[in-house]
Structure 1
């Protein structure tokens, strides 16, 4: 199993490395921007006066006394988010601001007259500018503070809810800490007093309304009661018990009739009992049976009770004596006669009681009939008074409703009167404001921190913009990806002292001129000979190696060196490459084909009488026009400019130039051609038949990418023959800041190890 690398980790590492390289590349921009913004923060802290903020805390929904809650006319408000937001708007209202300003006489205070540069102040200024001053002056009250003072006051006032509690924190900012605390407490006091005043006004209004309503209800209830009494008197249905007279009479008659019927029934039962006793006594034997048949009602008579007791005693004695002396004994017969007499007496007494009971029964029956007659008459009369009773009931119901409503309103009125005498608010101050010991703004640490962070952020942004807008070639990978050409070499920039060092001899002797010997070559052209172990020389060797080992099958004998723009160092690269080849023992010649600006000829052979144009025209032989360098055996064919050349492209495309290059191919191993740049002129485009391959010189950090792309696009024949590009005047140390992937490649220690110098 093959382990795959962690692409995410590698990507993160690459991003970090790119970030570090970006900072190293643009650190000056970032540091300078951060320093400027931080300095601006210090200036701001120096110029802006300090501001002190006082805080006061107010709690909402202060519970009322229990008896007031029961008697309150107004419902208790539920404190929710909307209610709290409403209270916050009241605290921050213009009414509160005007009252506090007038109370503390703040209209002339400097804090409320100084100009404010905030956005809200700018908006208010625009509104005032667009409004009508005369109309505003007419609408403003004489004792009211100005709009500027009110706006300045409200800008310094803030109120907010603390977390999810019912506590509101009121803040006020001022340059005077004592004044800020005084104003904050005044705002809280004004708000609480406003709440009390509003509740007192509402209660007073409710009390006044209740007084009027109670007066009306009392009059209406009294009128209704009087109407009830008048109707009762008019219809003769007034009764002391509060019920209609007909109904009361019927109820009384019903009760009396029930009692009469009960008496009649009792009398009838008693009469029938007596008659039963009499019938039983007349049928029974003269001696026995009667005392045992007497009922409970009969036994209640004391006479019958005494006679019965005597009867029972004589009957017991008669029974005993009959057993002892016989039934026919005289004493027994006398006792039997006496028993018979007692029985007769008892029957007489029962008969008397039965006659009395019959009289009671007849009387009770007569009373029952009389009551039934009266009840019938009362019911008949009650039916005639039903409509009047319905009317009186309606009048009584309305009277009772009005009286109950009057009692309810009277109770609320008494509660309202008590509430007016008990001043309490639903809000109170739980933490009054005090003079602040430290300024609230500007906060030094916060301003400096924000300034530093903003400066770094702005610096990074500017550095990023600068990096994005840097449309020049910086890295080899950028060049290869953009131009689709290999980067043949990184030619380092030589030190200024070496570039500006004068030639060994400024004047050529007559002998050197006659023999066409090069003796005034600038040191920069001889750098490959004077510093063979330098990094510059190694870069030129890399160019020669790329020429010798080009992928093309044909040998690259004629090499054209060009660039997109002038002053990119193509002439120096041409001279150095030719010097290197000549110093290695090969036969090399450098030809100056920049006919309009023969810089190489002016620096190497300024006194040359003839050049490539004279040779092509046949005015001079090739040998008489070639100059030689005795140190490297390098041949040089200059371009002599005697006047303005108008058709240089025609000259370079002439067949005589082709013949000249054919002769050079036969005589030299390498022919280095210093060509003009691509963009200003079209001369390079006509040299395709002459050149085997081209090398494009690009100045590091200066040549625009779009310019090079446009130059190659307009010269397709040259683009096809290019074997690669060369980075010239490269800042090797700066390359490490741009090419993060190859930063180790630019370290001088690798070259020093093999005896090469850094330049």
Structure 2
């Protein structure tokens, strides 16, 4: 496979394509990389040298990691008082724990414990010279920017260092922490990395330092301080809960005593005794007792159902839980029981997945999890069973009491009934308050016991040992990274260069992008640039001009790429003009000045003359007269004198030195500005017709088509047009616009020839189908 389906239509150079649906040959990409190999080498070498220099000059650093684990019961203290909350370690709780590890209190405690303010390795760590240099450069740039900003803001210069420290969080006036300790704590927080280990309840505490002992001490101190902080937090929470329950117990005790006192006072005032038949009851009291009885019966049924279900589940034994969760148990409003049910469900799901995968280690591990979860759930079920049994007894007692009260109330005397009922209500209220007091008292004793024996929900899994081997800097990793970055940088630079490379370089550019015939490459020859470039158009210093024969590249180098291209132009012209007529008119033009069209015109004429044709060259550029400048003015009269009617063409016709080629030069008077109008006159057409009858080939050296219209006004008199483009200089878009913007030019275009080609570099741009790729192999034929 040598193609990929990527469209580079919006690019340029070899990757440009007018058809957005086509693919790009991989050989084109390799060609681009080959010709930009110097860019790739420079980028990679520069970054590797910088990376190696930075690595060699950088101090070694050591990494240390400690692991701490959070128990699932994070909210243990709160759950002992209330069942609201979750036992599972959720993401919010884990993130909160991570923030606690990085809190100011923990960082300051570590700083004080290790006395980091006195550690030179921490307060002033070694800095690599390269890093110091880069920092100095950026510091200088920042200072310059601040200086410029201070010009526009008078307040900028009044900000002192203390304000900057306060704004950055390094100092805090609201606390009594030493500023140096606060600075060290802030630096420690910025250097310590705390991350959760996968989806577990464990955290890794990571720190990097140039001192291996300091690195290990810091992460271990963080672990110890965090465990102590968690223990203190539990103790503080328990202490606060104890204080709250003490106040609540005092209030309940006082209310219970007051309720009992009210009941006794009411009994004494009405001469009543508990359970005595003192009278009948009012209708409202009976309705209220009936309502309470109905509610009590409902609670009793619910409690019995719960007791029956739990008794059956417990009676099935713990082994029954290994097959799945018990069925038929009503919803239990107990978070601990729900959590243990979920733990067993998750463990069973994982076990089933492991059994499907057939992984023996996973099956063994998950069976252990299932056994542990089943044991915990079974213990919870036993506890809930006892609790349900107690609730059944309580509900039965309440139903019996209400029934007895209702029976007594119905049969009591009407006068004594209300007082007796009121007394019973008072007694029930006193009993309820007393029961609630006893319940809170029991829970208070449990919490007080935990306060005396605090348990932390955090423990250290692994302390960090002092690293014996430096973690870096690694020369190998640096070199690999620099090579990758160098390749990325060179890719960006190459992409920019290729995007900007919008010039004609290969035959594919001419045939595929412009859609014009390609005539060949004219190599860059010695003296191919005119020595008169830059001279004024009416002054030619004969002593600065080379002999005309030095520009006969085709005839002086018969076995050369230059000569072969000229022969191809002659052959192509003959094939298109094969009717035997004389007077073939060939125009030579370009898109821009200084592309070598005049020298190309001269050598085309020499090639036709060498083939036995009678040739006449007409310098048809009344603006710059490039052909006349090259060969040198042989007389004081020229084309403009013929077109003005001053002279006949026979009087102006000259012979090119050292050849039998005739020529009509263009001598431009000072201040002459009407060349286009004279070329469009009938006299120019008559001149061409007269010369066609005399010569086999007329070569017209035309003006460039980009800046002026001279070539276009002569297009009707031309038979063939040779378009000269300078290799690597002529923009593709300019040539494409000129060649496709004139219909008459398209029909008469013989082809495009690329001039001043660097044959040593053309292979970096040409495709495999281009003969220029194999130029070095043609030396035996073309030398």
TM-score range, shorter chain: 0.5 to 0.7
Go from structure 1 to structure 2 and tell me whether the alpha carbon gap of 1:246 and 1:133 turns closer, same or farther (over 3 Å shift). Answer: same
CA offsets 1:363-399 (integer angstroms, 9 cap, x no match): xxxxxxxxxxxxxxxx999887555543443333233
Trace 1:123-522 onto structure 2 (pairs within 5 A).
139-145=173-179, 148-225=183-260, 228=263, 244=276, 386-440=417-471, 444-494=475-525, 496=526, 520-522=547-549
Structure of larger gyration radius: 1
Aligned-pair CA distance for 1:473: 1.0
Q: Provide the rounded CA distance (Å) in 2 between the counterparts of 1:27 and 1:134.
A: 50
Question: Does residue 727 of the first structure (1) align with residue 761 of the second (2)?
Answer: no
Question: Does residue 627 of the first structure (1) align with residue 655 of the second (2)?
Answer: yes
Partner of 1:539: 565
Which 10-residue stretch deviates more, 724-733 or 100-109? 100-109
Aligned-pair CA distance for 1:701: 1.0
Aligned-pair CA distance for 1:539: 0.8
Go from structure 1 to structure 2 and tell me whether the alpha carbon gap of 1:436 and 1:649 turns closer, same or farther (over 3 Å shift). Answer: same
Q: Provide the rounded CA distance (Å) in 1 between the counterparts of 2:653 and 2:77.
A: 123
Aligned-pair CA distance for 1:132: 6.1
Q: Provide the rounded CA distance (Å) in 1 between the counterparts of 2:22 and 2:674.
A: 58
Q: Provide the rounded CA distance (Å) in 2 between the counterparts of 1:45 and 1:25.
A: 32
2:44 alignment partner, one of 28, 34, 37: 34
Q: Provide the rounded CA distance (Å) in 2 between the counterparts of 1:552 and 1:94.
A: 96
Q: Provide the rounded CA distance (Å) in 2 between the counterparts of 1:172 and 1:45.
A: 20
Partner of 1:549: 575
Aligned-pair CA distance for 1:54: 2.1
Partner of 1:587: 614
Aligned-pair CA distance for 1:728: 1.5
Q: Provide the rounded CA distance (Å) in 2 between the counterparts of 1:750 and 1:132.
A: 75
SS at match of 2:204: strand
Trace 1:664-703 onto structure 2 (pairs within 5 A).
664-703=691-730
Which 10-residue stretch deviates more, 142-151 or 401-410? 142-151
Q: Provide the rounded CA distance (Å) in 1 between the counterparts of 2:188 and 2:571.
A: 81
SS at match of 2:728: coil
Q: Provide the rounded CA distance (Å) in 2 between the counterparts of 1:411 and 1:213.
A: 13
- For structure 2, which runs of at least 5 residues remain unmatched after alignment? 8-20, 150-155, 280-409, 532-541
Partner of 2:399: none
SS at match of 2:35: helix
Aligned-pair CA distance for 1:604: 3.2
CA offsets 1:255-305 (integer angstroms, 9 cap, x no match): xxxxxxxxxxxxxxxxxxxxxxxxxxxxxxxxxxxxxxxxxxxxxxxxxxx
CA offsets 1:585-613 (integer angstroms, 9 cap, x no match): 22122223334434433443555455444
Go from structure 1 to structure 2 and tell me whether the alpha carbon gap of 1:522 and 1:178 turns closer, same or farther (over 3 Å shift). Answer: farther
CA offsets 1:287-345 (integer angstroms, 9 cap, x no match): xxxxxxxxxxxxxxxxxxxxxxxxxxxxxxxxxxxxxxxxxxxxxxxxxxxxxxxxxxx
Q: Provide the rounded CA distance (Å) in 2 between the counterparts of 1:89 and 1:700.
A: 65
SS at match of 1:671: strand
CA offsets 1:619-651 (integer angstroms, 9 cap, x no match): 576267421555x53333333456554333344
Aligned-pair CA distance for 1:431: 0.5
Q: Provide the rounded CA distance (Å) in 2 between the counterparts of 1:233 and 1:86.
A: 60
Aligned-pair CA distance for 1:60: 0.6
SS at match of 1:622: helix
TM-score normalised by L of structure 1: 0.67
Q: Provide the rounded CA distance (Å) in 2 between the counterparts of 1:581 and 1:142.
A: 101
Name the count of aligned residue pairs: 593
Partner of 2:31: 21
* CA root-mean-square deviation: 4.5
Partner of 1:336: none
Aligned-pair CA distance for 1:16: 1.7
Go from structure 1 to structure 2 and tell me whether the alpha carbon gap of 1:129 and 1:685 turns closer, same or farther (over 3 Å shift). Answer: farther
Q: Provide the rounded CA distance (Å) in 2 between the counterparts of 1:85 and 1:381.
A: 66
CA offsets 1:430-477 (integer angstroms, 9 cap, x no match): 101233344556554444333221221121122112111112112223
Q: Provide the rounded CA distance (Å) in 1 between the counterparts of 2:613 and 2:55.
A: 73
CA offsets 1:480-515 (integer angstroms, 9 cap, x no match): 344442222232333x4x86999xxxxxxxxxx9xx
Q: Is contact 2:766-2:773 (8 Å) kept?
A: no
Q: Provide the rounded CA distance (Å) in 2 between the counterparts of 1:380 and 1:573.
A: 138
Partner of 1:756: 781
Q: Provide the rounded CA distance (Å) in 2 between the counterparts of 1:397 and 1:661.
A: 134
Aligned-pair CA distance for 1:697: 0.5
- For structure 1, which runs of at least 5 residues remain unmatched after alignment? 248-378, 503-512
Which 10-residue stretch deviates more, 680-689 or 400-409? 680-689
Go from structure 1 to structure 2 and tell me whether the alpha carbon gap of 1:555 and 1:468 turns closer, same or farther (over 3 Å shift). Answer: farther
Q: Provide the rounded CA distance (Å) in 1 between the counterparts of 2:602 and 2:3.
A: 49
Aligned-pair CA distance for 1:427: 0.5
Q: Provide the rounded CA distance (Å) in 1 between the counterparts of 2:48 and 2:36.
A: 18
1:55 alignment partner, one of 51, 65, 72: 65
CA offsets 1:172-196 (integer angstroms, 9 cap, x no match): 2333332222222222222222211
SS at match of 1:698: strand
Q: Is contact 2:653-2:662 (8 Å) kept?
A: no
Which 10-residue stretch deviates more, 706-715 or 35-44? 706-715
Q: Is contact 1:737-1:743 (8 Å) kept?
A: no
Q: Provide the rounded CA distance (Å) in 2 between the counterparts of 1:381 and 1:654.
A: 143
Q: Provide the rounded CA distance (Å) in 2 between the counterparts of 1:738 and 1:694.
A: 26
Q: Provide the rounded CA distance (Å) in 1 between the counterparts of 2:484 and 2:729.
A: 32
Q: Provide the rounded CA distance (Å) in 1 between the counterparts of 2:112 and 2:639.
A: 100
Go from structure 1 to structure 2 and tell me whether the alpha carbon gap of 1:227 and 1:666 turns closer, same or farther (over 3 Å shift). Answer: closer
CA offsets 1:157-183 (integer angstroms, 9 cap, x no match): 221110111111112233333222222
Q: Is contact 2:583-2:694 (8 Å) kept?
A: no
SS at match of 1:707: helix
CA offsets 1:78-97 (integer angstroms, 9 cap, x no match): 31121111111211223322
Which 10-residue stretch deviates more, 546-555 or 569-578? 546-555
Which 10-residue stretch deviates more, 94-103 or 423-432? 94-103
Partner of 1:280: none
Go from structure 1 to structure 2 and tell me whether the alpha carbon gap of 1:660 and 1:406 turns closer, same or farther (over 3 Å shift). Answer: closer
Aligned-pair CA distance for 1:561: 0.9
CA offsets 1:84-126 (integer angstroms, 9 cap, x no match): 111112112233223333443435666457899899xx9xx99
Trace 1:590-669 onto structure 2 (pairs within 5 A).
590-608=617-635, 610-614=637-641, 617-619=645-647, 622=650, 625-628=653-656, 633-640=660-667, 643=670, 645-669=672-696
Q: Is contact 2:73-2:87 (8 Å) kept?
A: no
Question: Does residue 747 of the first structure (1) align with residue 778 of the second (2)?
Answer: no
